[in-house]
Amino acid sequence: MRFDERDRVVKAPDSRDFAVYKAVMAIVKKMKFKELLSGTKEEILANAAKSNAKGRHYKMPADGKAHYTDHLIQGAYHCLEIDTDIVRKSRAILFVFGGGMVLGSDSGDVGLSRKIAKITGADVWFPYYPMCHEHDMLENVKMIAECYEKMLRYYAPEDIVFLGFSSGGALILDLITYINECNDSGGSIPMPGMLIPISPGSVPVNEAERRDLHLIAKRDLMIPERFMYTAREIMCCGHEVPEKYLATAHGDFRNAPVTHFYYGSAEVLYAFAPVYAESYRNAGAECVIHVGKGMHHCFAVQYFIPGCKPAFREMMELIKEYYYKRENE
C-alpha cells in the first residue's frame, strides 16, 4: 500500500518500546478476540447476540457524575446527551461507537463519553444506533443524521465535532456522503466543524485493496481478514444498500471539514488509509492521516491500555485546539 506524495501522513504516538504495552497485547492475543468476528454471517451474528444480551444496550446512567438527557430518535432509538454542567455548552461532540455493526455499546462507553466531555469542555452526544442484525447500514446512517440534525437546534454546525471509532468512524464518514446526497437533492444540511475517525473500515472493492488487506491481516490481533468480506453481507441485512455506504472509503467527501484519521499500522483496516486519502484529495477536501507504528485497532481511543494514553491525549488536544481557534477567530 502506498500514499501519494501529496497526502499528509504524520506519526502518532506509539508504544513499540513500552514493555507493559507488549505484555497487554500478548494477553489480548490469548483472549482470541478475533474469534468473535470469525465464521459465517450467521455465526458472527449469533456470537454478537450472546454478547449483546450481557448488557450491551441503552441504559440511562444513574451515577450522578454528569447531567444526562435522553433524546428519542425516529421514535425508537436513544441518543444520550452527556453534559458536565446542567447548562449546555456552546460546543458539542457527536461520538459514535464501533463494534462491526453487530456489537452494541458496552458500559465503558458512557464513562469514556464523560471523560471526553470533561477534557474538551464540550457536550457529548452518544447515539445508540440499531445493529445490523435487523437493520442495514443506510438505516444506521439516517439515524445518526437525525441525531446531528437535532444537535443543530442547540449548536452552530462549526461548533460540532464528529468523533467515531471503528464502524462508528465509518458511520461519521458515511454521514458526510449522506449530507452531500441530501443537499444535492435540495437539502441544506451544514457540515460540522471537524471530523476524527479512528480506525474506520470499508469493504474491499478491487484487487489492490484485497491485496493490502491480506498483507496486513497476519499482524492484526483483533479483526480477521475474512470479516471484511462478510461485513458486506451483514451491513446489507438482506436489503439493497448503495455501494458508497458500504465501501465507505470511496464515499463522497465534497465539502468535508478537516478530517484527522487515526490508524495503527498493525491493523487490517489500515489498508484503507491511502484510499480515504485519495478520495479526500479527489473531493478537494483536507485530511491528515495519523499513524501509530505497530499499533493495534482503535489504539488512540483506548486510553486505559498502557501506552495508548499519549495518542488519546493528542486527539483530545486536536479538539481543544480547534475550539480555541473558533473562540478566537
Domains in the chain, please, with CATH? 8-56+65-327 (3.40.50.1820)
Beta bridge partners of residue 32, listed in sequence order? none
Task: Name the nearest CA neighbour of 135 among 235, 282, 273, 241.
Answer: 235
Over residues 111-121, the mean pLDDT reads 97
pLDDT of residue 36: 84
Say whether pLDDT at 253 is over 90.
Answer: yes
How far, in Å, are 197, 240, 280, 328 from residue 169 at the CA level? 4, 22, 15, 29
pLDDT of residue 30: 80
pLDDT (tens digit per residue) in 300-323: 999 999 999 999 999 999 999 999
pLDDT (tens digit per residue) in 255-313: 999 999 999 999 999 999 999 999 999 999 999 999 999 999 999 999 999 999 999 99
**CB of 199 closer than 8 Å to CB of 297:** yes
HSE value, Cβ hemisphere, 13 Å, CA-based, for 110: 24
- Decide which of 323 and 26 is more confident: 323
pLDDT of residue 149: 98
Chain CA centroid to CA 107, Å: 17
pLDDT of residue 210: 96
Over residues 45-73, the mean pLDDT reads 93
pLDDT (tens digit per residue) in 98-115: 999 999 998 899 999 999
**CB of 197 closer than 8 Å to CB of 166:** no
**CB of 315 closer than 8 Å to CB of 196:** yes
pLDDT of residue 230: 96
pLDDT (tens digit per residue) in 236-247: 999 999 999 999
The DSSP-derived string for 51-109 is HHTTT-S-----S-SSEEEEEEETTTEEEEEEESSSS--S-EEEEE--STTTS---THH
Over residues 247-257, the mean pLDDT reads 98
Spatial distance between the Cα atoms of 220 and 252, rounded to a whole number of angstroms:
28
**CB of 270 closer than 8 Å to CB of 216:** yes
Say whether pLDDT at 32 is over 80.
Answer: no
The DSSP bridge pattern shows strands 160-165 and 194-198 to be: parallel
pLDDT of residue 178: 98
pLDDT of residue 31: 77
Say whether pLDDT at 1 is over 80.
Answer: no
Nearby residues of 51 by Cβ (< 8 Å), 6 or more positions away: 36, 103
- What share of the chain has pLDDT > 90, as a percent? 90
